[in-house]
Amino acid sequence: DTFTPINRNAFPAAKAAVDCVLTATDGLLAGRRTAYALVRPPGHHAERRSFGGFCYFSNAAIGAQQLSRRGKVAILDIDYHHGNGQQDIFYDRNDVLTVSLHGDPSFAYPYFTGFEDEAGVGDGAGYNLNFPLPEQLDGPGYLVALEHAIKRIREFRPDYLVVALGLDPAKGDPTGTWSLGPRDFEANGRAIGRLDLPTLVVQEGGYRTRTLGASAKGFFRGLLGS
């Protein structure tokens, strides 16, 4: 698509993002409890056979694939937009649970995926969970949906968690419509941290530069319990 050009810098940048994720994954496999891959370009819209939405390689899915060699993995995508890349890649598998909270595709990119009835196929039936959310949403409303997602992750009993961290749910983000603030990101991080799992955090969206730092700081303060 027109959001995702191919030029001489695209592949080196996308490969560097994957390398960063693999380094973070190695840290978890070596015993670390948390690792953060702060990358650009993002990856959660890249599928098996296509790319788009600023994404070239599915960074979070690549990390999850590495971790899945050592146990079950849950991917929790908390970007404003649907994590169609992870869904596509793991749609027929039951060792990787894919969960996405996002703006309803009736108004939000990528428009054609992210509906509730997309639950997986074959061995993966029931292992893909979508939470399409309304156009106007505040922090407390988001947290209600997040707790439902976390409940499903607990039931799955994964060995590892991959968080596709979007900061575009923040108030004023040019690609979103929600109104989360730093304290809301902190509450979300705290809720996720209570899962008490080895956690790989992979950076996805977030485009309002004035609030990115505060949103990220809030999330990690909650996640790490600091």
Residue entry with tokens 């639950």:
119
Catalytic residue among 45, 81, 82, 102: 45
d(C-alpha 189, C-alpha 96), whole Å: 21
* R_g (Cα) of the chain, nearest Å: 16
Distances (CA, A) of 221 to 8, 51, 183, 190, 213: 38, 32, 10, 8, 12
148 is catalytic: no
Minimal CA–CA distance to 84: which of 55, 121, 123? Answer: 55
86 within 8 A of 184, measured Cβ to Cβ? no
Is the peptide bond preceding residue 110 cis, with omega within 30 degrees of 0?
yes
In 3-state terms the chain splits into helix, strand, coil percentages (rounded to 5) of 40, 15, 45
Catalytically annotated residues: 45
